[in-house]
Amino acid sequence: MSAPAHVPVLLDRVVALLAPALQHEGAVMVDCTLGLGGHTEAVLSRCELARVVGIDRDPAALDLARTRLAAYGDRFTGVHAVYDELPDVLDDLGLGAVEGVDAVLFDLGVSSMQLDVRERGFAYAEDAPLDMRMDHTVGRTAADVLNTYSAGELTRVLREYGEEKFARKIAAAVVRQREHEPFTTSARLVELLYAEIPAPARRTGGHPAKRTFQALRMEVNDELAVLRRAVPAAIDAVKVGGRVVVESYHSLEDRLVKQAFTAVTRSLAPPDLPVVPPELEPALRPVTRGAEQADEREVAENPRAASVRLRAVERVKSKGAAA
């Protein structure tokens, strides 16, 4: 299987945010969402003193990335793991016990390879098995969710993760139809969505299956719970001068990242204090002003960039310093 052509969203800006932390001998970056290795390749080529640890839960993506990055030799290490296992990965590599690493990157959501490989079941454009597991060797599939969740559980998933206005209507139809035949492939689900979502709503907001497929993917891979654990772990993993950079594509993801970053960049001093003592200064500082977005040119070249929100923070106080 060859790697699909793919240019990561905001690649130059992401590397520019990471580079200041990686310009010294022995610098280490962790790419928590390795995918096909696009970000990692750019960092290895532009930050020649750095090495990268690439984490991915998808064995197929990991194999492709290892092949792509083989020319960089021991400057790249690929690890099969879910990114909330970051502390264990660093401990296993002997990187967790000392000061930490210099940069951590997350590019959230589904990778281009997962979308492009029909058998993975992430895309709604063609008929495929309803799988959607990022690691196809473990866990429940999207078909399992559709065929076993109650109407109430399905409504919650569609509403919370897909922001689907017709969640209750869709869930009821799924439960009704699966009594006659379980759901196994995407075409039947897409057909149901066309039938249940009113025509005026189908004409706006993109493909009518987009929100349901996103919701199922996030549920199958437990994406928000994993991210909720992973962002604080990444913040804790970086040393002074180290940066955490996150690209989000969903409002729930971005809200979680924003809350985690705000918590560690906010002073603990009372607002009316004239001079803030060092122990009340925040441990990290924001590097981006709020969330950065892609410009019109990038969105035209890469439609996936339309929803990106990019945030970055830098550690300015060591973990051992008084908080």
pLDDT in tens, the chain (323 residues): 344 446 789 999 999 999 999 999 999 999 999 999 999 999 999 999 999 999 999 888 899 999 999 999 999 999 999 999 999 999 999 987 667 899 999 999 765 444 444 444 446 556 788 988 988 888 899 999 999 999 999 999 999 999 999 999 999 999 999 999 999 999 999 999 999 999 887 776 667 888 899 999 999 999 999 999 999 999 999 999 999 999 999 889 999 999 999 999 998 777 777 777 777 789 999 999 999 999 999 999 888 899 999 999 999 998 765 44
For tokens 């999207």, what's the residue? 142
Flag whether 124 is marked binding: no
Residue 131 marked as a ligand binder: no
Ligand-binding annotation for 272, yes or no, is no
Residues 73, 76, 80, 85, CA torsion sign: positive
DSSP H helices, the chain, are 11-18, 38-46, 59-68, 86-92, 112-116, 142-148, 151-162, 167-178, 186-196, 199-202, 210-220, 223-237, 251-265, 296-301
Q: Which SS3 state, helix, strand or coil, does residue 91 take?
A: helix
- What is the Cα–Cα distance from 239 to 93, expressed in whole angstroms? 16
Is 107 known as a binding-site position? yes
What pLDDT shows up at residue 206? 67
pLDDT of res. 3: 42
Backbone phi and psi for residue 29, each to the nearest 5 degrees, phi listed first:
-115, 145
83 is in an annotated binding site: yes
**CATH H-level superfamily of 135-220:** Putative methyltransferase TM0872, insert domain (1.10.150.170)
pLDDT of residue 263: 95
Q: How far, CA to CA in Å, does 223 sit from each of 34, 179, 214, 215, 305?
A: 16, 29, 11, 10, 20
Determine contact, residues 160/225, Cβ cutoff 8 Å.
Answer: no
Q: Domain spanning 11-113+223-315: which superfamily?
A: Vaccinia Virus protein VP39 (3.40.50.150)
Distance, in Å, from the CA atom of 284 to the CA atom of 231, rounded to the nearest integer, reads: 13
Q: Is 37 known to sit in a ligand binding site? A: yes
In this prediction, residue 321 carries a pLDDT of: 58
**CA distance linking residue 85 with residue 65, whole number of Å:** 19
Give CA–CA dist 60/35, Å, rounded.
Answer: 9
Sequence ranges of the domains in the chain: 11-113+223-315, 135-220
State both tokens at 13. Answer: 């800006």
Q: Is 56 annotated as a binding residue?
A: yes
